[in-house]
């Protein structure tokens, strides 16, 4: 059994607060296990859960077949959809566990631009729209990133066998993996981040309990010095799962 490793990154301005009303975002590659963990965290923390729209996405299957043609349309569709979801979380004022956030959309858009699948004109338009919407957004209290390799991601995509994902390529996932590395370096300066090595699934509710304990310890710290990635203040902790997992 592989032991999940929880690496925590804590910005200096984190405040002590109750978990009630906490907004937790789960990030990671396609097929990383975000939905599974979101359900478990929602149960353990008694928070509502918000899921990524996949099956009803009007552009996703077309995008995977022809990303250059449909990249801009998909990014605008997702930006609007996630903005609506984030507004719902804010106005309901109950917090929640969110399966992918609006901030991750910028990861996909940047990767598409750098790969030549989204031209500079469309990318700049997307960025300006994102900046305008950001005036009405609130950052999550915590980001949980599920670390899996592009190869493992593709393996899980094939196992779940969704029609809309059948054209996802390993190259696309590798580019996305690299883009996430840059995203986490940047976002950890503003939002606490817990990175989980989840190459193999463990019991999601037990993992959720581990995350809860880790976040509760993070909330009482103003700054932690040893870096794990980037230049942000971070800490490393290896938390063993129960032996019967």
Distance CA 3, CA 22 (A): 27
| Pair 35, 160: CB distance under 8 Å | no
- Write the DSSP assignment of 85-140 as a string of letters: HHHHHHHHTS-EEEES-HHHHHHHHHHHHHTTSS-HHHHHHHHHHHHHHHTT----
The pLDDT value recorded for residue 241 is 30
Binding-site members for ATP are 28-36
Binding-site members for substrate are 52, 64, 75, 100, 105, 165
Q: How far apart are the first and last CA of the chain?
A: 7
19-52: pLDDT as tens digits: 778 999 999 999 898 999 999 999 999 999 999 8
Binding-site members are 28-36, 52, 64, 75, 100, 105, 165
- Listed by start position, the domains of the chain span 5-238
Tokens of 216: 């509760």
pLDDT level of residue 6 (50, 70, 90 thresholds): low
Q: Which residues are catalytic?
A: 99
The pLDDT value recorded for residue 111 is 92
The pLDDT value recorded for residue 234 is 35
For 5-238, give the CATH class: alpha beta
Mean pLDDT for 206-218 is: 86
pLDDT level of residue 54 (50, 70, 90 thresholds): low
């Amino acid at each position: 059994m592989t032991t999940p490793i929880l690496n925590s990154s804590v910005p200096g301005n984190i405040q002590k607060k109750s978990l009630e009303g906490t907004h937790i975002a789960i990030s990671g590659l396609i097929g990383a296990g975000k939905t599974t963990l979101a359900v478990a965290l929602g149960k353990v923390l008694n928070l509502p859960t918000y899921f990524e729209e996949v099956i009803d996405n009007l552009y996703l299957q077309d995008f995977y077949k022809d990303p250059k043609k449909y990249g801009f349309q998909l990014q605008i569709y997702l930006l609007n959809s996630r903005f609506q979801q984030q507004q719902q979380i804010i106005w309901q004022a109950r917090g929640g566990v969110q399966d992918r956030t609006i901030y991750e959309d910028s990861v996909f858009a940047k990767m598409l631009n750098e790969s030549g699948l989204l031209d500079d004109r469309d990318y700049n338009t997307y960025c300006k729209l994102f900046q305008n919407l950001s005036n009405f957004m609130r950052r999550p209290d915590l980001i949980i990133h599920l670390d899996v390799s592009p190869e493992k991601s593709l393996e899980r995509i094939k196992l779940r066998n969704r029609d809309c994902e059948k054209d996802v390529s390993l190259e696309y996932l590798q580019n996305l993996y690299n883009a996430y590395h840059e995203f986490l370096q940047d976002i950890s300066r503003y939002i606490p981040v817990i990175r989980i090595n989840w190459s193999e699934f463990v019991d999601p509710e037990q993992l959720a309990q581990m995350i809860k304990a880790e976040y509760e310890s993070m909330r009482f710290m103003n700054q932690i010095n040893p870096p794990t990635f980037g230049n942000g203040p971070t800490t490393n902790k290896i938390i063993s799962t129960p032996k019967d997992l």
